[in-house]
């Protein structure tokens, strides 16, 4: 483990995989990895999606694609479920930071976030960051937790970023519809061609897709933060 401080972004498809609220199916192994990191004196910040997915069953909605206010209400109830779901796998306390891109753009709020993260980490507490979905309309629509994770890696001065979802990495075409798709084990430079390969998500639970992961990787790598796009369903 060649890092000292890592930001691990965990997608909704891992937190609430069966479209039916939270589950420990995949996150128990991720939590185990985080505990191992702690034992090796590494610091870990989690950026967890899944509040909307976790809250889905609690809010009545007629359409398969809920409105933004309905999603925001789902996030409000699901956030607690999602936090509970993480905490049950740790002996150390978890802490909740709900932030938006706007918070990170404001100097004073940026410093507050930075200081809070520093003190939490110094106390062995696991910071769990999510978008403040009830106020962040645009982020909620775009599924921007990938980009948020890159920004959290910057504010926390992390040296590594893991983006975990249910896909193995970046392929030259969509592997779900092209049997001959080839995974790119390493990307030296993020070009327009790489973005063109990324496509969008097919998973109704996930929001971002590969495009936002590449955007996040671009932001992080530009700032010297090694970035890995990994399949979190393989860690069971
Ligand atoms: N913040 C949203 C949630 O927790 C998800 C956004 C994303 O996955 O990028 O449900």
Q: Over the stretch 136-160, which tens digit does the pLDDT of each residue have?
A: 776 544 457 999 999 999 999 999 9
Tokens of 209: 């897709």
CA of 206 to the centre of ligand 1 (A): 8
Each residue's pLDDT tens digit, 174-183? 777 888 888 8
Strand order in the sheet with 94-99: 94-99, 126-131, 43-48, 5-10, 160-165, 226-231
Global pTM value: 0.92
Structure confidence at residue 142 (pLDDT)? 43
Each residue's pLDDT tens digit, 92-106? 999 999 998 888 888
Chain-centre distance for alpha carbon 169: 15
- Give the other-Cβ count within 10 Å of 190's Cβ: 18
Q: Are 101 and 47 in contact (CB under 8 A)?
A: no
For ligand 1, pick from 66, 128, 144, 204 the residue to mutate: most ligand atoms within 8 Å of CB: 144
- Give the other-Cβ count within 10 Å of 200's Cβ: 12
Structure confidence at residue 164 (pLDDT)? 95
What residues line ligand 1, using a CB cutoff of 6 Å? 11-12, 49-53, 75, 130-131, 133, 143-145, 207-208
Structure confidence at residue 220 (pLDDT)? 96
Each residue's pLDDT tens digit, 29-41? 999 999 999 999 9
Structure confidence at residue 181 (pLDDT)? 86
* Residue of 11, 47, 44 whose CA lies nearest to 130: 47
């Amino acid at each position: 483990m060649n890092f000292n401080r890592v930001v691990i972004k965990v997608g909704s498809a891992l937190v609430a995989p069966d479209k039916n609220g939270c589950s420990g199916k995949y996150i128990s192994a991720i939590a185990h990895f985080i505990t191992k990191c702690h034992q090796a004196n590494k610091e870990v910040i989690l950026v967890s999606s899944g509040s909307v997915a976790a809250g889905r069953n609690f809010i009545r909605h007629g359409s398969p694609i809920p409105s933004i206010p309905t999603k925001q209400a789902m996030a409000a109830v699901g956030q607690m479920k999602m936090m509970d779901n993480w905490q049950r796998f740790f002996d150390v306390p978890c802490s909740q930071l709900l932030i938006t891109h706007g918070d990170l753009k404001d100097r004073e709020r940026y410093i507050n976030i930075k200081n809070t993260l520093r003190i939490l980490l110094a106390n062995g507490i696991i910071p769990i960051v999510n978008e403040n979905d009830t106020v962040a309309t645009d982020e909620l629509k775009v599924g921007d937790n990938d980009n948020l994770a890159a920004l959290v890696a910057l504010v926390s001065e992390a040296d590594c970023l893991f983006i975990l979802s249910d896909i193995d990495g970046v392929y030259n075409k969509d592997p779900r519809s092209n049997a001959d798709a080839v995974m790119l084990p390493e990307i030296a430079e993020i070009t327009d061609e790489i973005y063109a390969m990324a496509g969008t998500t097919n998973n109704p639970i996930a929001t971002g897709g590969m495009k936002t992961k590449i955007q996040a990787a671009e932001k992080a790598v530009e700032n010297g933060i090694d970035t890995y796009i990994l399949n979190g369903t393989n860690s069971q």
